[in-house]
Amino acid sequence: MLVSLTVGKVDAGVAVLLTQDNRLIEFPSVLLPNNITSGSIVDITVARNHSAEEASATGFQSLQKRILNTYGVKTPAPPVLRLRNATQTSLVLEWDPIDLATASLKSLSLYRNGSKAGSIPRPLETRSTKISGLAIHTEYTFHLVLRTTAGTYQSEKLTCRTHKMTDLSGITVTAGVLPEQQKEALGAALDRVGGKLIDTVRIDTTHFVCTEGRGPLWEKAVEMNIPVVTPEWVDACEAEGTIVSVRGYYLNADPKARQLGPIHASTQHQRTMSTMTANTQNHIQSQSQSRLSLQPQPMRERQESVAEPPITPFPGAGMSGQPKAEDSEGPSDDEDEQPPPPPPKDESDAAESPEPTPNGHAEQNGEADAAETAGSSEKEDKADNEKEEDVPEKAEETKEESSGDEVKKGKGKEGEGDFNEVPL
């Protein structure tokens, strides 16, 4: 299309052009020829460029698709929350890295039982958190809420429960400075109780076990306020079947401060009582056996302490230096010349205790034996008392056999009376 225009006024930047119907058109002066002045007539050809339009439309559509694919298709992903470890009073939660797509992060919050528990610090770096101070064997519900410039996204609710005191599967131990053999024993004990042994100090580490407080792992455990205990703590938990207080198992702690739980205490009490009962029974049996085997000895000692004369020559008496129990009872001259053989354990005592004498020594010995038997019956069991009661019965059987020697005994007693009158 060809258009003829008349130049009306030419300035440095804009030229005024007049159409044939006297309409004014402002036209850039830079697009006019150099020799144009006022009154000049210029022809301008106007045409549509279809190829340029198609290229421009294609470029615009590709830009729109790129914007859609970048900002319209991919959106932030809701966080995925899961349980990492549980103990009697704490829970360790973890989640996958936050996917914000093209949005910007505003906040990441943790909710417990429908109420906000707190905001996660540095949510782009932090991937786990520990909730302490929970009740034993109690159920809780948790979920995360992610707020971005593209919207708010919420994770699925996670229901978890704290452990019972007898559930030891939540124990996670990091070993420090330990002998190799002791470390292997520690791992075996943790396997038996259901615990875990790890090599590094993590957020789910419940206890740090070592024998010496040194090393980078120990420093990190102290920095994270993780209890540092000795290997005996794991053995105590295994023996108790429950979580044991760590107060008596710290490094350099007094072992006397260790408190036994109800299970171990009752077991220890039963063992102690059974041991004491067995020891008491053994002591009573050994005492009864020794009393039966050495029963004539106390009688001999009493007779010696009462009627022991000084070592002086006496007509008709033995010169052995210490009178025997048979001598104090007044043996005959034949018996003094030849000392009798040692009496048997049971028969001699049974034969000596019930013999009547004119001076009444046998009756006194019988009463002393009866008192001694009554005192010992409180300590001895029923079987020992029955053995003591059999002794007088045997004595009565031998009483008739010894009746023939009463005349000789009487003579001996008369000699014994004279013997007791010797001044000391």
- Mean confidence (pLDDT) of the chain: 74
Regarding predicted confidence, which is higher, 239 or 404? 239
Residue 38 has pLDDT above 80, yes or no: yes
What six digits make up the tokens of 97?
């890295």
Among the CATH numbers 3.40.50.10190, 3.30.360.10, 3.90.1420.10, 3.40.50.720, which is that of 172-257?
3.40.50.10190
41 burial class (0-12, 13-18, 19+ CB within 10 angstroms)? Answer: exposed
For the domain made up of 48-164, give the CATH fold: Immunoglobulin-like (2.60.40)
276 band by pLDDT with thresholds 50, 70 and 90: low
Domain layout of the chain by residue ranges: 2-45, 48-164, 172-257
Would you state the pLDDT for residue 320?
A: 43
Residues pairing with 223 in the sheet:
none
Would you state the pLDDT for residue 298?
A: 46
Phi-psi region at 330: left, alpha or beta (left = phi > 0; alpha = psi -120 to 50): left
* 40-87 pLDDT, tens digit each: 888 888 888 999 999 999 999 999 999 888 887 888 999 999 999 999
13 band by pLDDT with thresholds 50, 70 and 90: confident
Phi, psi angles (nearest 5°) of residue 93: -110, 150
**Helix, strand, or coil (residue 208):** strand
Contact of 10 with 42, CB cutoff 8 Å: no
* 162-200 pLDDT, tens digit each: 999 999 999 999 999 999 999 999 999 999 999 999 999
The rounded distance, in Å, linking the Cα atoms of 417 and 359 is 9
**Helix, strand, or coil (residue 76):** coil
- Residues in Cβ contact with 255 at an 8 Å cutoff, skipping those fewer than 6 apart: 248
Other beta carbons less than 10 A from residue 230's beta carbon: 20
Residue 237 has pLDDT above 90, yes or no: yes
Residue 329 has pLDDT above 80, yes or no: no
Would you state the pLDDT for residue 419?
A: 41
- Which pTM value belongs to this model? 0.50
What would the DSSP string read from start to end of 93-132? EEEPPP--TTS-EEEEEEEETTEEEEEPSSTTT--EEEE-
User: Of the ranges 31-45, 50-64, 365-379, which one carries the lowest mean pLDDT score?
Assistant: 365-379
